[in-house]
A and B are shown apart, each in its own frame.
Chain A
Amino acid sequence: MVVETQFLPFVEWFPLGLLHWVLVAGAVAAVALVLSYLVTAVRHGPVAAAKIIARVLTGVLGDLGQISPRRVFALTRLAVKESIRRRVMVAFALFIVVLLFAGWFLDPGSTHPARLYLSFVLTSTSYLVLALALFLSALSLPADVRSRTLHTVVTKPVRPSEIVLGRILGFTVIGTVLLVVMCAVSYVFVVRGLTHTHEISQVELDKAVDGWGEQVRAGVSKAPLQLRTTKVHRHRHDVYLDTGKSEKKEPAGESQREGSVRTEMEQGHWHDFSYNIAFASPGAEGDTEAKSKIDYQVGPPRGMLIARVPMYGKLRFKDRTGKDAEKGINVGDEWTYRTYLEGGTLAAAIWTFEGVTEEKFPEGLPLEMTLGVFRTYKGDTDKKDIPGIPGSLSVRNPETGLMVEAKIFTAKEFATDVQFIPRTLQGKGTRGEKLDLFKDLVADGKVEIWLRCLAPAQYYGVAQADLYFRARDASFPLNFIKGYLGIWLQMVLVIGFGVMFSTFLSGPVAMVATAGTLLGGFFSTFMARLGAGETYGGGPVESLIRLLTQENLVSDMEPGLRTTVAQMTDSVLQVGLYAMSKVLPNFGQFSFADYVAYGFNVPTNLLLVRGFTTLGFLTAVFVAGYFFLKTREVAK
């Protein structure tokens, strides 16, 4: 998962976001005002048009300032009742059916079952709720206009602003209720779908425990007792009952031992394994009947549904000669998100972390990394114990320059590697003095982690978010709710746009317009790049010509009338596209599904930013919707 975008703290973002909102909303309002004046001037003449526009604007301010909560509440209740009577709960029934069928097809034995389950429930909920929001919001008001029920409402002292607000709130209420129920059902579905336990076959138990028991009885047990669970959900776990401690503490001839360990990690989870072993009493010589007995219990899967809170550092690079570099090297990938370190050289990726304190990490630094691996040769496949490309992690004090090599590891392409840098590290030199992580290597909360690739002519691909400290784990249920909060924000936006379009368009057209906004919003980043001319192949018309004539994207088009006309048209269209990309909400950014599915905590900062962005869009569509309803003839 890519969490590369660094979000400004909310307090820093807010003034910038507000300024952006004011500029964009102001520009849209100015364009709308000029167009309205021109249309009115054509109909009524320039002077009368100015008077009409002035009167409308005065009315707008008055109407917006006199919104009655009582009437808005009445209209909200009406929208809720309308939704219920229109069998909106069918969507929930559909959701249940989808879950029932999904139970057959989702494979809990896949490599990342939690990711699969979470992605599924979040995506299916999102599709259903957004479709529902689209239908409800875009069709309701036009249906009222068509059936003329709106006539009996607008002839009461109801302002257009109250009608628009009542609809938005009403559909939001019904959507929220539906989403809350879906969230609860999804949570149960995920937990129940993933939960499982394992057993250990009796044959293996007898064999292993008896052998181990003899060692314990003899007081010579050194190797841990290795057990292997049965296969459930297409995986099994190894369990090691360590004897290292007991060797010192427990005398030969002990009769019983109990304890609790973790199973080995498989498919991103482990189980708690508690056991109680009653060793056979050392009977007379040749007593072969005596058998040890073990009672054990395997707990539910753990570490599967998590919400990691990462602490990210700032990334810089050293080149192959050890000099500072802006970035690593490009190995030819078109996608330049990651930049590469050459193995067997001084090239390094250096993350500088701030705020690393003993209070936060009393045991040491839990570190997780997901690296790209680029091989120029296959490597020594005979070395089965080293399946990846070797690398090293070093810890460096940014002030004193003291550096310690903390870990040697092997990296596989995009596999999440979990490392732990302990409090005490072995220093360099013959004396090899022991160093304390916080006293010797952290300066004012700052510490550097150096990553190097050790295999010559092999490469590591890194980006800033690829390596982080796992500061703590947040509550997974709360993170799950945050994931649904993202869907809620998307739903509210769709409702807002749907209601706004429905104030002046017929139902089907409003629905298409809202769906177009939704689709455009998902591609608004691409649209901005297209508008700014940052894409290969030119603008829309030039691209179309290239597509039809199968011309290369990067070569210049042949000069001529066709090219001139296409590029001139594109330059106009690109302005429109760029403007559109600034006006449309980037719906994809409101989804937190990846955070939840990949086990990362959704930052509160991000929630606040997205929440206020939604509020900004809602305010704009509300005012636009009010304006459209105010200036249209309801009875036409």
Chain B
Amino acid sequence: MQANVTIETRNLTKVYRDFWGRQKVRALKALDLEVRQGEIFGLLGPNGSGKTTTIKLLLGLLFPTSGQALVFGRDASEVTKNERIGYLPEESYLYRFLNAEETLDFYGRLFKMPASVRRQRTAELIKMLGLEWAKRRQLKEYSKGMTRRIGLAQALINDPELILLDEPTTGLDPIGTREMKDLILKLRDQGKTILMCSHLLADVQDICDRVGILYQGELKELGRVDRLLKVRDVTEIRASGLSEEAQKEVEEVIRRHGELVSIGNPTTTLEDLFLKIIRESEAHPGRRVRGTQES
């Protein structure tokens, strides 16, 4: 295993069996994968493609049928590796009878950290995730978005080197989604390694350095996002402030040398538009749009 490789799977296979040992589903087939230190790696795939199974195998929640899963060079079933890991499950499976402070205090106690550090981290995370106003409320009273945030906080309580995120943006509104993505990028900038799985392609595209695409338990594609998404036989030219005459001139040049696919004004994403409106609304409260303004 190379020094800068955080996660490595070798021929990792998982077969789910029934009570009598008969094969039910072959969830993962001979997966060979490496996640390098300091990158955001995205596992993509439709439901049932083996993403969550891979993460659970890496966490030791499942045992491989064959092959090997190594985390920090150790077998995934070793407990000591968990000192350096943070895990956000698909749903935030937390103790609903605890409040936010109690939750983080409990998970913090499971790590070897002094009480003062634990209290400090708890306060920092609650503040960072905007839960200060609800820190004394039991989690059963939390909305789904709040639960996701406290779930992320427990994953970060030990300031982990490796963070495994299972569908991190599920259940979050667009603002929460953007905040989550910004946070993931920030964590990467701090030198942490992140493995996330999602079926929300836009999220993965926005933040991942490399992706692997799983389908029916098999790895179908692996590589850097920019390389995989690059359309090599199409050239994109972006310019601003061109007059109509200049545009026509550029069109003419392109037609002379190749085929013009399209030319026009680009559109923003719905996410960007939504966030822009929310920010403007916060800056100018009371402004409304009439239904008749649509054109």
Q: A interface vs B, CB < 8 Å? A: 42-43, 59, 63, 68, 70-71, 73-74, 77-78, 81-82, 85-86, 147-159, 633-636
Contact = CB atoms under 8 A, between A and B. Distances in A.
B110 A74 contact: yes
Contacts of B87: 151-152, 155
Nearest to B89: A151
A156 B111 contact: yes
A45 to B, nearest CB: 12
A78 B16 CA distance: 32
A157 B79 contact: yes
Contacts of A634: 61
A63 B94 CA distance: 25
A77 B106 contact: yes
A74 B106 contact: yes
A71 B110 contact: yes
Interface stretch (B42-50, B95-103, B222-230, B260-268): B95-103
Contact of A154 (B60, B98, B107, B154): B60
B89 A71 contact: no
A636 B83 CA distance: 23
A71 B83 contact: no
A159 B109 contact: no
Interface residues of B, number: 32
B110 A156 contact: yes
Contacts of B63: 633
Given A158-B110, A635-B56, A152 B79 contact: no
Contacts of A155: 59-61, 82, 85, 87
A157 B97 contact: no
Contact of B93 (A85, A86, A148): A148
A635 B94 CA distance: 15
A78 B107 CA distance: 10
Contacts of B91: 148
**7 smallest A-B Cβ distances: which pairs?**
A74-B109, A635-B61, A85-B97, A148-B93, A156-B110, A157-B82, A155-B87
Nearest to B84: A157
Contact of A151 (B61, B80, B97, B158): B61
A90 to B, nearest CB: 15
A152 B107 contact: yes
Interface in B180-228: none
B253 interface: no
Given A43-B21, A153-B110, A635-B56, A158 B79 contact: yes
Contacts of B77: 59
A150 B91 CA distance: 13
Contacts of A159: 79
A633 B15 CA distance: 13
Interface of B: 16, 21, 56, 59-63, 77, 79-80, 82-83, 85, 87, 89, 91, 93-95, 97-98, 102, 106-107, 109-112, 151, 154, 158
A73 B108 CA distance: 12
B94 A157 contact: no
Contacts of A63: 79
B98 to A, nearest CB: 7
Contacts of A43: 21
B199 to A, nearest CB: 19
Contacts of B59: 151, 155
B62 A73 contact: no
A53 to B, nearest CB: 14
Contacts of A635: 56, 61-62
B83 A157 contact: yes
A157 B78 CA distance: 9
Report whether over half of chain A's contact residues are helix, strand or loop; otherwise say mixed.
Answer: helix
Contacts of B80: 157
Contacts of A157: 79-80, 82-83, 110-112
A82 B106 CA distance: 12
Contact of A82 (B89, B95, B111): B95
Nearest to B98: A81
A73 B112 CA distance: 13
A86 B98 CA distance: 12
A156 B164 CA distance: 12
Contacts of A151: 59, 61, 87, 89, 93
B97 A81 contact: yes
A354 to B, nearest CB: 56
Contact of A636 (B62, B79, B109): B62
B79 A147 contact: no
9 contacts: A77-B109, A82-B97, A149-B94, A151-B89, A151-B93, A154-B61, A156-B107, A157-B83, A635-B61
Contact of B154 (A68, A73, A152, A633): A152
- From A77, A635, A636, name the one whose CB has the most chain B CB atoms within 10 angstroms: A635
Contacts of B154: 152
Contacts of A153: 110
A636 B16 CA distance: 9
Contacts of B61: 151, 154-155, 633-635
A152 B97 contact: no
- From B83, B87, B95, B151, name the one whose CB has the most chain A CB atoms within 10 angstroms: B95
A527 to B, nearest CB: 29
A152 B98 contact: no
Nearest to B140: A85
Contacts of A59: 77
Contact of A148 (B82, B89, B102): B89
B102 A152 contact: no
- From A86, A151, A158, name the one whose CB has the most chain B CB atoms within 10 angstroms: A151
A608 to B, nearest CB: 35
A157 B151 CA distance: 17
Nearest to B109: A74
Contacts of B21: 42-43
B61 to A, nearest CB: 4
B25 to A, nearest CB: 12
Given A147-B93, A151-B89, 17 more contacts: A70-B109, A70-B112, A77-B106, A78-B95, A81-B102, A149-B93, A150-B93, A152-B94, A152-B107, A152-B151, A152-B154, A153-B110, A155-B60, A156-B111, A157-B80, A157-B111, A635-B62
B106 A78 contact: yes
A103 B112 CA distance: 53
A590 to B, nearest CB: 32
A634 B59 CA distance: 11
A415 B213 CA distance: 86
Contacts of A68: 112
A222 to B, nearest CB: 78
A153 B60 CA distance: 12
A578 to B, nearest CB: 30
Contacts of A71: 109-110
A86 B63 CA distance: 33
B110 to A, nearest CB: 4
Contacts of A148: 89, 91, 93
A77 B91 CA distance: 24
- From A43, A86, A150, A155, name the one whose CB has the most chain B CB atoms within 10 angstroms: A155
B265 to A, nearest CB: 47
- From B83, B106, B112, name the one whose CB has the most chain A CB atoms within 10 angstroms: B106
Contacts of A78: 95, 106
A143 B79 CA distance: 23
A151 B90 CA distance: 11
- From A78, A151, A152, A154, name the one whose CB has the most chain B CB atoms within 10 angstroms: A152
A82 to B, nearest CB: 6
A634 B91 CA distance: 16
A68 B111 CA distance: 10
A155 B58 CA distance: 10
Contacts of B16: 636
A153 B89 CA distance: 11
A6 B295 CA distance: 99
A78 B61 CA distance: 21
Nearest to B97: A85
Contacts of A86: 97
A356 B107 CA distance: 62
A565 to B, nearest CB: 28
